[in-house]
């Protein structure tokens, strides 16, 4: 019997498949397509188990669909721009491009070793001009349509490094690189007007219902954050102008006892100027900026600065004080709010602190609220009081009526607001796609001409110790001529946020044309992506940006669909248990003795076994895919990963678990190998599989039941763990059956045909998960062609039906016995039989039968 030599088998078939180009896909209008896409990786150096899981899940889906007759597009590429390349350059003195491309080469080899069914001809590397030139084109077209614009905003700024920091580069209010306290700074930058699509992005989430995880849909809804309210004008006599506030509770207008502005609000500045509070306000702004983080986390106390003037409530005509307050956000609504302490907790706290009046205008049905007795704001709906002609109305109706009244008086209007902000795409980074804009001394902002694209990112640069982008200092790059007037001009030196590249790569995969971003007919054939797979961490940003780009490209006339990803699967993390020594902190499993002591430096302290956590170097719980492939082979790694948990749950890596998967494949290999010679020439004529002996019929039935189960689990439920369990169960049953049969039984021709069917179909079922071993055994068994090109087995429905079943006999809902009975047994017969069973008699005797429930094919329940 031959050994399962996985490394030889895997190498052999990977070469064959590559040579034969079995995974290539080209548009073919005669065949149905299926586009399977996994989120492409950032080329950080090596792939990790999270990637292995993501790509294994995608590969299984792609292979199942191929076997079901679809023309499957399954591509892979590299999200190759990004900050880590610059950090590597800083640390190791290697150029970001060299670092990136060598990482890509290494990781590509790793993916190939895992046997993924990618059409590598379609590989994309986003840091090449071939790719990003089209991104620049889209940007210019967006600019021309007013969808890209330049504005000043507040950014995180590290005063030491003199650089802008992304939110995720700020750790506890400090710069991640140098630890300096981060401040905010106003800076100019480019923005994409995603807010113009807020309503459509929200509405179209309904189309994804049932196809995307509910969680992701909810997260996006919250992120877009639609709220319906009103803008209301409060006249400010001191300035003789209106202050416009935004509120979702116009019904509480009569309870407004003050108004609050964001400290950065224009009117706050004007009023401060007028009242001689300029210094105080600036001090306040500075303080609020510093506390920004604490404020965002809700840790800072509410604080305000009275601007020594008043605003007029448009309906009551009351004069109420104006404050600048730290809890009012400039970026949301109008940056100004009316404050109703009785019905808003934040206003309540502020009012208590500054001794401002609290007036109840909404009251629940059953009791009367008194302002002086309130311990917190009453925020629920209720009935209006103290509100003139609106008193007595239910708050929901009052909202409409008060808005109507304000509109009639031109003092306010209904207003929809979104939490979603425009997408800031400027990065003061080197390793990114250049923003194709020129600043002309005469013409101002001018987009580069389309025919001059790409604006190539210069590679002849030195990354210096400050980590600052070298682009602004590259005279050759910066100095240019104006595309419009030909005069002197300077290039934009910011680059795009890397989320821009990943917002359209799925389109490029379908049509890698050298001259066009993509050909329309290719897009029409392959898109949208049928199944997208990736981590939940991209639930909001990437997926929202990609949805936005899809809609923009649609409106620019490139494509004709609304949503890029038909179905979405978000896989869980790969986690592993951790070990912690009281002296050494996190330690590797190898550093723990068999009796749980720390072996590091002869330490000997008792090691704490921590709960499983996401794999990370710092926690010493990383498992290297290369090592696993070397030890067990790609098929075993894939099998374990698909088997250990359903895709959406976290997967706990287990060294014992992978041994189990390895054992299963060894068992499969030796079993089929031992019959291979005998069965190779046997022709699989299913029509001869009639009048089988009981045991063989049972085996065949079990096979077809397994095919059905695997079909459902692999193609519909995407629960590969239970599908694989069914295959394992079948193999167990097969081995039991083989043990029971005599050598003579197996010499029978029919038995041989059946065995051939059983083996061939088992291999077909397992091949999406473990393609190499299945291809090898397929060849040994004399299978036709390549298993990777074979059809998924179908089941014979007539075979599924059992002639008998095990009837569960219950008395008062408790199982008392079970007995094998004909499948078509009647209720009467079943009852008669049940009552004759001694174990049942025991519980029924001497009692009267009140009811009998009979479930065909299942059970009988006798109620006494």
Residues 292-331 that bind RNA (CB under 7 A): 295-298, 300-302, 326-329, 331
Site string for RNA, 658-697 (x = CB under 7 A): -xxx-xx-xx------------------------------
Binder of RNA out of 813, 822, 824, 849 (CB under 7 A): 813
Per CB under 7 A, which of residues 375..394 are in contact with RNA? none
Smallest distance from the beta carbon of 815 to RNA, in angstroms?
5
Residue that is written with structure tokens 């038909």 in the block? 566
CA distances from 179 to 83, 169, 465, 467, 780 (A): 18, 11, 16, 15, 62
Pick 220 or 363: Cβ nearer RNA: 220
The site string for RNA over 250-289 (x = CB under 7 A, - otherwise) reads: ------------x---------------------------
As measured in angstroms, the least distance from the Cβ of 25 to RNA is 31
Where in 515-554 is the site for RNA (CB under 7 A)?
536, 540
- Among 153, 195, 248, 309, indicate the residue that binds RNA (CB under 7 A): 248
| Contact (Cβ atoms closer than 8 angstroms) between residue 407 and residue 414 | yes
Shortest separation between residue 223's beta carbon and RNA, angstroms: 7
Give the shortest CB-86-to-RNA separation in angstroms: 25
792: tokens are 């998924």
Task: Indicate which single residue of 41, 82, 335, 768 sits in contact with RNA (rule: CB under 7 A).
Answer: 335
Among 828, 804, 802, smallest CA distance to 818 is for 804
Q: Are strands 148-158 and 183-192 parallel, antiparallel or unpaired?
A: antiparallel
Nearer to RNA, 19 or 814 (CB): 814
Residue 377 in contact with residue 387, Cβ under 8 Å?
no
Minimum distance from residue 806 beta carbon to RNA (Å) = 5
- CA angle 651–655–659, rounded 5-degree value: 105
Query: How many Å apart are CA 766 and CA 72, to the nearest integer?
Result: 19
Helices and strands (H, E) in the chain, number of each type = 28, 35
- CA 698 from chain center: how many Å? 44
10 Å CB burial of residue 489 (0-12, 13-18, 19+) is buried
Q: Least distance to RNA from the beta carbon of 376, Å?
A: 11
Cβ 432 to RNA, closest distance in Å?
A: 23
Cis peptide, bond prior to residue 23, ω within 30 of zero: no
Q: Could you say which residues in the range 199-238 bind RNA, by CB under 7 A?
A: 214-215, 218-219, 222-223, 225, 227, 229
Spatial separation of the C-alpha atoms in residues 183 and 173, rounded to whole Å:
8
At closest approach, how far in Å is the CB of 649 from RNA?
5
Distance of CA 536 to the CA centre of its chain: 3
End-to-end C-alpha distance for the chain, whole angstroms = 60
Q: Of 240 and 595, which has the nearer Cβ to RNA? A: 595
Burial class (CB in 10 A: 0-12, 13-18, 19+), 864: middle
Phi, psi of 845 (to 5 degrees): -50, 135
Single out the residue of 487, 489, 462, 486 nearest to residue 473, CA to CA: 462
**600 contacts RNA (rule: CB under 7 A):** no
Under 8 Å between Cβ of 662 and 654: no
Q: For RNA, which is the closer residue by CB, 346 or 484?
A: 346
- Smallest distance from RNA to CB 747, Å: 22
Q: What length does the chain have?
A: 864
583 or 863: whose CB is closer to RNA?
Answer: 863
Site string for RNA, 639-658 (x = CB under 7 A): ----xxxx--xxxx-x-xx-
Q: Which of 337, 765, 777, 787 binds RNA (CB under 7 A)?
A: 337
- Residues numbered 553 to 582 that lie near RNA (CB under 7 A) are none
- Which residue from 183, 616, 722, 737 is in contact with RNA, where contact means CB under 7 A? 722
Pick the stretch among 21-29, 620-628, 716-724, 780-788 that binds RNA (CB under 7 A): 716-724
The residue among 300 and 697 lying less far from RNA, judged by its C-beta, is 300
Q: Which of residues 827-846 bind RNA (CB under 7 A)?
A: 839, 842
**Given 247, 395, 511, 636, the residue binding RNA (CB under 7 A):** 247
Binding residues for RNA, total number by CB under 7 A: 84
- Residue 249 near RNA by CB under 7 A: yes
Tokens of residue 552, six digits: 């923009």
Q: CB of 420: closest distance to RNA in angstroms?
A: 9
Distance CA 636, CA 615 (A): 20
Cβ proximity to RNA, 346 vs 600, nearer residue: 346
Q: Cβ of residue 540: shortest distance to RNA, in angstroms? A: 7
Beta carbon nearer to RNA, 141 or 344: 344
Residue selected from 170, 369, 697, 808 as contacting RNA according to rule CB under 7 A:
808
Of 728, 743, 725, whose CA–CA distance to 675 is shortest?
Answer: 743
Which has the closest alpha carbon to 484: 454, 452, 440? 440
- Rounded distance, CA 802 to CA 806, Å? 10
34: closest CA among 74, 4, 3?
74
Would you say 228 or 583 has its CB closer to RNA?
228
What is the spatial distance between Cα 399 and Cα 395, in angstroms, rounded to a whole number?
Answer: 6
**For residues 291 and 796, which CB has a smaller minimum distance to RNA in the complex?**
291
User: Where in 405-424 is the site for RNA (CB under 7 A)?
Assistant: 417, 419
Residue 371 lies near RNA (rule: CB under 7 A): no
Q: Which two tokens stand for residue 680?
A: 């190779």
Least distance between RNA and beta carbon 750 (Å): 25
Do the beta carbons of residue 514 and residue 477 sit within 8 Å?
A: no
Contact 774, 780 (CB under 8 A): no
Residues whose CB is less than 8 angstroms from the CB of residue 162 and which lie 6 or more positions away in sequence, other chains included: 466, 468
From the CB of 516, what's the least distance to RNA, in Å? 37
Taking CB under 7 A as the criterion, which residues in 777-806 touch RNA?
806
Give the DSSP letter of residue 448: P
Which listed range, 5-13, 334-342, 553-561, 744-752, lies at the site for RNA (CB under 7 A)? 334-342
**Minimum distance between the CB of residue 526 and RNA, rounded to whole angstroms?**
31
Q: Which stretch binds RNA (CB under 7 A): 240-248, 352-360, 770-778, 780-788?
A: 240-248
Interacting positions 342-361 with RNA (CB under 7 A): 344, 346, 349
Please report whether residue 168 would count as binding RNA according to CB under 7 A.
no
Which residues are CB-contacts of 158 (< 8 A; sequence separation ≥ 6)? 164, 165, 175, 177, 178, 180, 182
The smaller minimum CB distance to RNA, of residues 178 and 855, is found at 855
Nearest-approach distance from CB 407 to RNA, in angstroms: 17
Minimum distance, C-beta of residue 214 to RNA, in the bound complex (Å): 5
Q: Compute the least distance from the CB of residue 166 to RNA, in Å.
A: 14
Tell me the sheet residues that pair with 815: 810
Q: Does 333 bind RNA (CB under 7 A)?
A: yes
**For RNA, the closer CB: 163 or 247:** 247
Residue 682 C-beta: closest distance to RNA, Å: 25
- Say if residue 433 is exposed, middle or buried (CB neighbours under 10 Å; 0-12, 13-18, 19+): buried
- Compare residues 1 and 368 and give the one whose CB is closer to RNA: 1
* Rounded Cα–Cα distance for residues 799 and 117 (Å): 33
Instruction: Measure Cα distances from 85 to 79, 81, 201 in Å.
Output: 12, 8, 33
SS3 488: strand
């Amino acid at each position: 019997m031959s050994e399962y030599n996985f490394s030889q088998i895997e190498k052999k078939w990977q070469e064959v498949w590559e040579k034969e180009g079995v995974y290539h896909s080209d548009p073919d209008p005669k065949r149905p397509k299926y586009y399977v896409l996994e989120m492409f990786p950032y080329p950080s150096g090596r792939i990790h188990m999270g990637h292995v899981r993501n790509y294994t899940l995608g590969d299984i889906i792609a292979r199942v669909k191929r076997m079901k007759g679809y023309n499957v597009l399954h591509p892979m590429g590299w999200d190759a721009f990004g900050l880590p390349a610059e950090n590597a350059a800083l640390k190791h003195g290697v150029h970001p491009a060299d670092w990136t491309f060598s990482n890509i080469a290494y990781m590509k080899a790793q993916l190939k070793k895992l046997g993924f069914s990618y059409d590598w001809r379609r590989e994309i590397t986003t840091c090449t001009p071939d790719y990003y030139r089209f991104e620049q084109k889209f940007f210019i077209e967006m600019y021309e349509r007013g969808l890209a614009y330049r504005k000043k905003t507040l950014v995180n700024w590290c005063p030491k490094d003199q650089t802008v920091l992304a939110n995720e580069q700020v750790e506890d209010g400090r710069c991640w690189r140098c630890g300096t306290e981060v401040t905010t700074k106003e800076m100019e930058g480019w923005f994409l007007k995603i807010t113009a699509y807020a309503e459509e992005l929200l509405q179209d989430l309904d189309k994804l219902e049932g196809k995307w995880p509910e969680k992701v849909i909810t997260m996006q809804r919250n992120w877009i954050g639609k709220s319906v309210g009103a803008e209301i004008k409060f006249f400010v006599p001191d300035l003789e102008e209106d202050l416009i506030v935004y509120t979702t509770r116009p019904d509480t207008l009569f309870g407004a006892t003050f108004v609050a502005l964001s400290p950065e609000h224009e009117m706050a500045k004007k009023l401060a100027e007028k009242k001689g509070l300029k210094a105080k306000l600036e001090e306040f702004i500075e303080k609020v900026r510093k506390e920004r983080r604490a404020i965002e986390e809700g840790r800072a106390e509410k604080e305000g600065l009275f601007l020594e003037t008043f605003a007029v409530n448009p309906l009551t005509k009351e004069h109420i004080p104006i404050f600048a307050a730290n809890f009012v956000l400039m970026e949301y609504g109008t940056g100004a709010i009316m404050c109703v302490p009785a019905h808003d907790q934040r206003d309540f706290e502020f009012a208590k602190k500054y001794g401002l009046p609290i007036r109840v205008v909404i009251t629940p049905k059953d009791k009367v609220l008194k302002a002086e007795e309130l311990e917190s704001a009453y925020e629920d709906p209720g009935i209006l009081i103290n509100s003139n002609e609106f008193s007595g109305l239910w708050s929901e109706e009052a909202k409409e009526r008060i808005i109507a009244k304000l509109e009639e008086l031109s003092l306010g209007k209904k207003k929809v607001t979104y939490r979603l902000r425009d997408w800031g795409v400027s990065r003061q980074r080197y390793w990114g796609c250049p923003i194709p804009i020129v600043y002309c001394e005469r013409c101002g902002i001018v987009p580069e001409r389309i025919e001059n694209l790409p604006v190539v990112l210069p590679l002849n640069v030195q990354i210096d110790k400050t980590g600052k982008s070298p682009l602004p200092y590259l005279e050759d790059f910066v100095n240019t001529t104006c595309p419009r007037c030909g005069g002197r001009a300077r290039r934009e030196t910011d680059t795009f946020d890397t989320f821009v590249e990943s917002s359209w790569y799925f389109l490029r995969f379908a049509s890698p044309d050298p001259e066009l971003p993509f050909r329309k007919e290719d897009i029409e054939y392959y898109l949208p992506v049928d199944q997208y797979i990736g981590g939940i961490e991209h639930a909001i940003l990437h997926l929202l940006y990609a949805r936005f780009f899809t809609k923009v490209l649609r409106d620019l006339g490139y494509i004709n669909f609304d949503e890029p990803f038909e179905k979405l699967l978000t896989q869980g993390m790969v986690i592993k248990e951790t070990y912690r020594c009281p002296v050494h902190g996190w330690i590797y499993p190898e550093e723990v003795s068999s009796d749980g002591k720390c072996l590091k430096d002869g330490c000997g302290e008792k090691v704490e076994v921590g709960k499983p956590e996401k794999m990370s170097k710092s926690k010493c719980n990383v498992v290297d895919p290369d090592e696993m492939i070397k030890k067990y082979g790609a098929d075993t790694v894939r099998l374990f990963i698909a088997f250990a948990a359903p895709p959406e749950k976290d997967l706990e890596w287990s060294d014992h678990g992978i041994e189990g998967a390895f054992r299963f494949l060894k068992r499969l290999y030796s079993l089929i190998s031992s019959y291979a010679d005998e069965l190779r020439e046997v022709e699989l004529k299913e029509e001869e599989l009639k009048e089988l002996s009981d045991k063989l019929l049972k085996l065949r039935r079990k096979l077809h039941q397994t095919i059905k189960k695997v079909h459902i689990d692999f193609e519909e439920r995407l629960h590969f763990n239970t599908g694989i369990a069914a295959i394992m169960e079948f193999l167990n049953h097969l081995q039991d059956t083989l043990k029971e049969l005599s050598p003579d039984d197996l010499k029978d021709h029919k038995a041989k045909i059946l065995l051939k069917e059983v083996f061939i179909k088992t291999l077909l079922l397992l091949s999406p998960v473990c393609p190499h071993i299945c291809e090898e055994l397929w060849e040994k068994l004399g299978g036709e062609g390549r298993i990777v090109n074979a059809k998924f087995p179908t089941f014979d429905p007539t075979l599924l039906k059992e002639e008998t079943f095990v009837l569960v006999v219950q008395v008062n809902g408790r199982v008392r016995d079970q007995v094998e009975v004909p499948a078509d047994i009647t209720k009467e017969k079943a009852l008669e039989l049940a009552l004759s069973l001694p174990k049942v008699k025991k519980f029924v005797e001497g009692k009267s039968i009140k009811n009998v429930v009979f479930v065909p094919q299942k059970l009988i329940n006798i109620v006494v």
